[in-house]
Structure 1
Amino acid sequence: MTGQPIPVIIDCDTGVDDALALLFAVRHPGLDVRAVTCVAGNTGVDGVVRNTLTVLEQAGAGDIPVARGAERPLIEPVRAASHVHGQDGMGDLGLPAPTRRPVDVDAVTLLRREILASPRPVTLIPTAPLTNIALLLRTHPEVVRNIERIVFMGGAVEVGNATPVAEFNVWHDPEAAAILLTAGVPITMYGLDVFSRVLVPAADVQRLRASSEPRLRLAGELLAHRPSAPDPDGDDPSGGLGDAGAVCAVVDPGGITTELLPVEVSLAPGPTRGQTIVDRRPRPGEAEIHHGEREQRLVDVALDVDVERYVKLWLSAVEGE
């Protein structure tokens, strides 16, 4: 990769696949990770902070500031995904407590500080419920002048996971996701349609697990936990990269096929709450003709992914010296 590293900030709810994303981000020379902010999601926010610090320590990352953010969604109660990520959010691997500590400011303050201080526009990579990002945009709208793009892991064009139509990160805080779409900066949606397809082959998972290097062994154990695999209870021992694919899409955007499409979030109570409604029609329908255009935001929606390309990219960064 040529040119200067891309300044990025990762907003996460470290879990297993957020950890895979962090391992990649801090090891890839094309990224300058300026900060990591934490939000409740896969586990409680204090657990997210602990897990994030542990992963950065295990990865041998530099002195990257980490901040505690929102401990609950804007409206909804906390609804953790411990049935997927384990009671500690990290697959219950028994990882050591970190010696690192978070900074003494909250996530929104850290986000504002690092975005405005960056000499080049920052790419935000939320891999979690979007509560911190919504609070940032509403509290400090001036940050948008130094945001290059937001690449978020969330949403789905076709099938959800939290509900039949809603993906977990958006479902966890739909109002925050709706606010994100008003950011006024370019947005890429890396949703379940590509998220669940990027699988590391079993042989690579086994090689990582057998490594004597703690960072690589951690990567292998996280992949073996398999929360992002299409069938995590099946017989195929391959491991899903999950959230890490969104970071790959920042380094190598040519690995996904996107289409600029109108997207809105369903906020109504009931079975569609949290659905990302992606309008793929070639022309307006009767609803728009008779009632006027709905308020929809244009988003670069990921519809396809080069699986082998992203797996190779992730492995080369994580295993590189």
Structure 2
Amino acid sequence: MPNGRQQVPVIIDCDTGVDDALALLFAVRHPGIDLRAVTCVAGNTDVDGVVRNTLTVLERAGAADVPVARGAERPLIEAPRSARHVHGHDGMGDLALPAPRRTPVDADAVTLLRREILASPRPVTLVPTAPLTNIALLLRTHPEVTRNIERIVFMGGAAGAGNATPVAEFNVWHDPEAAAITLTAGVPITMYGLDVFTRVVVPGDDVRRLRASDEPGARLAGDLLAHRPAHPDSRPDDPGEDSGGLGDAGALCAVADPEGLTTHRLPVEVSLAPGPARGQTIVDRRPRVGESELHEGTREQTLVDVGLDVDVQRYVKLYLTTVEHLTP
């Protein structure tokens, strides 16, 4: 439990998604996290598929009472662009999971976010593992919520190479304007980007053990990890290559155990101009200002706690211990 004290009130905004599902399983079962709500946004698949997947995962995890709301079905400006080639046609690795038995709450995502944030007795940690469309709409529509947000820990961005483009990570690239709004809202932000996202990998022996579990949540985690091979060219059906990346779930590990993530507070801005750099998170790691600032002046930039290193074994152990041995 963070600091060995009270639970951290958490709201997840997701586009479930194989690794979003891994994150939900962890959040439900970690004793230091109080998962107050989940909101859904288009990203890995369409928003209705995201809602269906989210409800199914929560039921499998034994947390069917967590409120879930449908959010934005497209980015603020761009057309929606899914990642089904990564997550399968249904967004969940085409595992043929049963349809959920319940429906989302009778409120949109922004309404549920506002309600749960303001109702929380302690400041909430928002964990978006998806394009930031819902979060930007919330912050623009109800800026008063910032007084009860402790921090935003988002999976997105990259200080180095991207994946959607050579320099842009998918979640930020999918809705760059939403990311720019979120980063400039005046809330403390941790960026759990590709620089650490790809490094936390569960070994194949552990994946196989999870898949053989009699407990539905642990077994689902194993099946999802098997669909997320650690190496892009690996095949899930290859017994020698079935280690799996935690992906988004690492951002929840960073909430539960922040000491496992090494961050540096650095200026970050989002490239919004058309062209190959659109959606890039420009992370300024220079030790001093350069000629641009000397000749043109210093622009106002947002300081973000950027994840640049991670204790891989610590987070793998944390994830496995939580998903296998704890119940909600």
TM-score (norm 2): 0.96
Unpaired runs of 5+ residues, structure 2, are: none
1:42-121 matched pairs, under 5 angstroms: 42-121=44-123
Q: The residue matched to 2:63 in structure 1 has which SS? A: coil
Out of 259, 262, 272, the residue aligned to residue 277 of structure 2 is 272
Q: Is the 8 A contact 2:263 2:308 kept in 1?
A: yes
Identical amino acids, percent of aligned pairs: 81
Amino acid at match of 2:67: P
Counterparts of 1:90 and 1:295, CA distance in 2:
40
User: Which aligned runs of 4 or more in structure 1 are off by greater than 3 angstroms?
Assistant: none
Residue 302 of structure 2 corresponds to residue 297 of structure 1: yes
| C-alpha distance in structure 2 between counterparts of 1:158 and 1:230, whole Å | 18
Counterpart AA for 2:316: V
Q: What is the match of residue 283 of structure 1?
A: 288
Alpha-carbon shift at residue 212 of structure 1 (Å): 1.7
Alignment partners' CA distance in 2, 1:100 and 1:62: 8
| Matching of residues 169-318 of structure 1 within 5 Å | 169-226=171-228, 229-233=230-234, 236-318=241-323
Measured after TM superposition, the shift of residue 61 of structure 1 is 1.0
* Structure 1 unmatched runs, 5+: none
Matching residue's letter, 1:231: P
Partner Cα separation in structure 2 for residue 278 and residue 230 of structure 1? 26
Indicate the residue corresponding to 2:38 in structure 1: 36
Asked if 1 retains the 8 angstrom alpha-carbon contact of 2:55 and 2:64, the reply is no
SS at match of 1:257: strand
Following superposition, the deviation at residue 237 of structure 1 comes to: 1.6
Give the secondary structure class of the aligned counterpart of 1:312.
Answer: helix
Pairwise mapping of residues 118-157 of structure 1 onto structure 2 (< 5 A)?
A: 118-157=120-159
3-state SS of the aligned residue for 1:110? Answer: helix
Q: Shift of residue 232 of structure 1?
A: 4.8
CA contact (8 A) 2:156 2:194 kept: yes
CA-CA distance at 1:129 after TM superposition: 0.1
- C-alpha distance in structure 2 between counterparts of 1:158 and 1:64, whole Å: 36
Q: Deviations over 1:182-224 (max 9, x none)?
A: 1211100000000000000000000011112221111100000
1:6 aligns with one of 4, 8, 29:
8
- Residue-by-residue CA offset, 1:49-77 (whole Å, 9 max, x unaligned): 00000000000015111000000000000
Which amino acid letter does the alignment assign opposite residue 206 of structure 2? D
Superposed CA offset, 1:264-307 (max 9, x none) = 00001010000000000011111111111123110000000000
Matching residue's letter, 1:270: G
- Alpha-carbon separation, structure 1, partners of 2:300 and 2:45: 33
Counterpart residue type for residue 114 of structure 2: R
